[in-house]
Structure 1
Amino acid sequence: MQKSEDKLSMLVEDSYYHDLNVKEKISTRANVVFTLQIAAATLIGYLYKNIDYYGNELAVVTVSLFVGLAIIALVLSVSHSFKSFANGYNYCLLPTASELLQYNKKLSEYDPLNSSDMMANYLNEVFARCSDKNSELNITRSHHASKAFLRMKEVVICILLASLIFFTFNLDLSSERYKLTKSCTSEGYVQ
């Protein structure tokens, strides 16, 4: 009977530490998505700042459409990232070492013969309670981190399409190619 209780205690303890490990993995994933969001916002800003609004009208409208869709997807991605980050600081942790020692001392004073069993039961209850709460938080955070990542895929696709049109139709006001093309057309050198 004692072996099955020990195995159960080990399982509950492993579950607690597994949930803390999953927490760190979700945090890493959320940070990667956050970095991608900043990069996407920078690219969107570059496209809007440097687009030649007097260039090919269809190309300008198409780039603007894709950038607009990218902005919508980016806002949704940021929203999910915020929800993932906001839930990241409510984890249940074990009591501190000094609190555990103090509790064990009080148990020893209360019932010296059964104090070790009572302490083991207390720890099992704490591990189980914390593991349950942390598991719920991980599910919620993982859901939002996944949604944020999926929205970032949409953002990347929209930005890639917008950039392809942007550069294909030479709409980049800051590029040397644009300046060279415009100076040649104004001087009548285009063949």
Structure 2
Amino acid sequence: MNKERLFELYEKLYFHEMEVRERITGRVQITFALVATGYTILSYMLRMLDYTALRSAIMVFAISASLTFLLSFVCLYFLVRAFWGNTYKGMPSPIKTDEYREKLIAHKKEIEDYNSSYPSNRQPEVDVDSLVADHLYQKFRDCSAHNTEVNDRRSQQLHRAFKWLLFASIPMLVASVTYIAHDLDVSSPRKETPIVDLSVATELNGIKTKLEALNLSLKQGVKIVPEVEDNYVPPPPPPPQEPDARPLVEDNYPTPNAGE
């Protein structure tokens, strides 16, 4: 295989590894979502756990939930390693490549001037196209090799994370079956959920106390004097009565003329 065929191979391999990088990132995000979903389900079951249910069922659920959390932490460890801390090598930008080509052209002109000035110490001419092609060939080769190693390492970490996720799903399944089979949900419609309103309960207790005191006083013949609050302000007294005002009598007769 000649150099041109290898150049095409390394170029295809470089872009292939970049696509693999995106696929691995998507798989890691999906696994993170699965772990977060499991934590959400376990959090709900723990929050709504009925602690008055069968003690053995609660113990089985608690042990299974604890194992699920422990095994999922190992899964998260490998997921973090598969997601962060991985450095890829990329090809130089077109501007950098063009700057390198311009430098080669300037260097070629310098070599030509040197050879014309010192023909006895003639230097080999600079082939710009060949050097640029060699530069790109080496970059594609090095980047492809490095990115392949990184993707292989990330794939291995992702495989380990998914394996521990499967291990964590076993105790989670046991916890879920125990939770459903023994009806450990305190908000289950099959259970009576007591609703306590503290303000209403306080008012009812006060009314009950007053009724008991009233009943006791009626039995003993004691007159109940209503309790007066400390900040009680009596209403103002009624105003004094005043006599009716004398009605005004207006002179509605017409005024006679002066000549009459």
TM-score of the alignment, normalized to the shorter chain, above 0.5 = yes
For 2:85, what is the secondary structure of its paired residue? helix
Matches within 5 A, 1:9-20: 9-20=7-18
Percent of aligned pairs with the same amino acid: 25
> How far apart, in 2, do the equivalents of 1:87 and 1:24 lie?
15
Match of 1:25 in 2: 23
Alpha-carbon distance, 1:158 to partner = 2.1
Matches within 5 A, 1:18-57: 18-57=16-55
Alpha-carbon distance, 1:31 to partner = 0.4
Matches within 5 A, 1:94-133: 94-111=91-108, 114-133=127-146
Q: Structure 1's 178 and 117: CA in aligned 2 closer, same or farther, altered over 3 A?
A: farther
For 2:88, what is the secondary structure of its paired residue? coil
Matches within 5 A, 1:1-16: 4-16=2-14
Match of 2:192 in 1: 179
Q: In the alignment, residue 171 of structure 2 is paired with which amino acid?
A: C
> How far apart, in 2, do the equivalents of 1:77 and 1:107 lie?
52
Alpha-carbon distance, 1:53 to partner = 2.2
Alpha-carbon distance, 1:54 to partner = 2.4
Q: Does 1:146 align with 2:159?
A: yes
> How far apart, in 1, do the equivalents of 2:163 and 2:84 lie?
19
Q: In the alignment, residue 117 of structure 1 is paired with which amino acid?
A: S
Alpha-carbon distance, 1:110 to partner = 2.2
> How far apart, in 1, do the equivalents of 2:150 and 2:52 lie?
51
Q: Does 1:166 align with 2:166?
A: no
Residues 94-148 of structure 1, C-alpha deviations (whole Å, 9 max, x = no match): 1111111111221223238611111111111111111122112111111111111
Are the counterparts in 2 of residues 66 and 159 from structure 1 also a CA contact under 8 Å? yes
User: Does 1 or 2 have the higher relative contact order (CA < 8 Å, sep 6+)?
Assistant: 1
**Normalised TM-score (structure 2):** 0.64
> How far apart, in 2, do the equivalents of 1:174 and 1:80 lie?
37
Q: Structure 1's 87 and 139: CA in aligned 2 closer, same or farther, altered over 3 A?
A: farther
Residues 155-174 of structure 1, C-alpha deviations (whole Å, 9 max, x = no match): 22322221111011010112
Where structure 1 has 5 or more consecutive residues not aligned to the other structure, the ranges are: 183-191
Alpha-carbon distance, 1:175 to partner = 2.2
Alpha-carbon distance, 1:6 to partner = 1.1
Aligned pair partner of 2:74 in 63, 73, 76: 76
> How far apart, in 1, do the equivalents of 2:186 and 2:129 lie?
75
For 2:173, what is the secondary structure of its paired residue? helix
Residues 47-103 of structure 1, C-alpha deviations (whole Å, 9 max, x = no match): 211112221122111111111111011111111111111134x11111111111111
RMSD: 1.8
Q: Does 1:137 align with 2:137?
A: no
> How far apart, in 1, do the equivalents of 2:59 and 2:12 lie?
56
Q: In the alignment, residue 134 of structure 2 is paired with which amino acid?
A: N
Deviating above 6 A after TM superposition, structure 1's stretches of 4 or more consecutive aligned residues are: none
User: How many residues in Structure 1 have an aligned counterpart in Structure 2?
Assistant: 178
Where structure 2 has 5 or more consecutive residues not aligned to the other structure, the ranges are: 110-125, 195-260
